[in-house]
Structure 1
Amino acid sequence: MPDAPQPAQPQPQPQKKTAGRDLGAAIGVGLGLAAVIVASLFVVKAAFVGVIVVAVVVGLWELTKRLQERKGIKAPLVPLAIGGAAMVVAGYVRGSEGAWVAMALTALAVLVWRMTEPPEGYLRDVTAGLFAAFYVPFLATFVAMMLMADDGALRVLVFLILTVVSDTGAYAVGWRFGRTKLAPRISPGKTREGLLGAVAFAMVAGALCMQFMIDDGSWWQGLLLGLAVAVSATLGDLGESMIKRDLGIKDMGTLLPGHGGIMDRLDSLLPTAPVVWLLLVIFVGSG
Structure 2
Amino acid sequence: MLWQRTLTALLMLAVLGAALFALPLTGWWLFCAALASLAAWEWAGLLRLPQASRLSYASGAAVAAFSCCFISSPLVDGVLFGLSGVFWIMVVPSWLRDRWKLGQGLLGLALGLLVIIPAALAVARLRQHSPWFLLSVMAIAWVADICAYFGGRSFGRHKLAPTISPGKSWEGVWTGVLGVLLYASLVFALALPQIPARLSWPLSLVLVLALTALSVVGDLFESMLKRQAGIKDSSNLLPGHGGVLDRIDSLTSTLPLVALWAQVWMV
Kindly indicate whether residue 96 of structure 2 is the aligned counterpart of residue 125 of structure 1. Answer: no
Question: Structure 1 length as normaliser, TM-score?
Answer: 0.74
The higher radius of gyration belongs to: 1
1:27 matched to which residue of 2? 6
Which deviations, in whole Å up to 9, do the C-alpha atoms of 1:183-214 show, x marking residues without a partner?
11111111111111111111221222234347
| Cα pair distance change 1:148/1:249, threshold 3 Å | same
Q: Percent identity?
A: 30
| Cα pair distance change 1:95/1:198, threshold 3 Å | farther
- Cα distance in 2, alignment partners of residues 273 and 43 from structure 1: 21
- Cα distance in 2, alignment partners of residues 85 and 196 from structure 1: 39
Find the residue that maps to 2:68 and give its secondary structure. helix
- Bigger relative contact order (CA 8 A; separation at least 6): 2
> Is the 1:178–1:193 contact (alpha carbons within 8 Å) kept by the matching residues of 2?
yes
Kindly indicate whether residue 204 of structure 2 is the aligned counterpart of residue 231 of structure 1. Answer: no
Kindly indicate whether residue 148 of structure 2 is the aligned counterpart of residue 166 of structure 1. Answer: no
| Cα pair distance change 1:76/1:126, threshold 3 Å | farther
| Cα pair distance change 1:210/1:44, threshold 3 Å | farther
Amino acid at match of 1:172: F
Aligned counterpart for 1:141 among listed residues 118, 121, 125? 121
What stretches of structure 1 of length at least 5 have no aligned partner? 1-21, 104-122
Amino acid at match of 1:167: D
Judging by fraction of residues, say which structure has more helix.
2
Aligned counterpart for 1:194 among listed residues 161, 172, 184? 172
Residues 1-287 of structure 1: pairs in structure 2 closer than 5 A: 22-46=1-25, 47-68=27-48, 77-78=55-56, 81-91=59-69, 94-99=72-77, 124-149=104-129, 152-213=130-191, 215-217=194-196, 218-280=200-262, 285-286=265-266
Find the residue that maps to 1:249 and give its secondary structure. coil
> Is the 1:236–1:270 contact (alpha carbons within 8 Å) kept by the matching residues of 2?
yes
- Cα distance in 2, alignment partners of residues 179 and 137 from structure 1: 37
- Cα distance in 2, alignment partners of residues 244 and 145 from structure 1: 29
What stretches of structure 2 of length at least 5 have no aligned partner? 82-102
Which deviations, in whole Å up to 9, do the C-alpha atoms of 1:69-98 show, x marking residues without a partner?
6xx899665255334443345236514434
Question: Structure 2 length as normaliser, TM-score?
Answer: 0.79
RMSD between aligned residues = 2.8
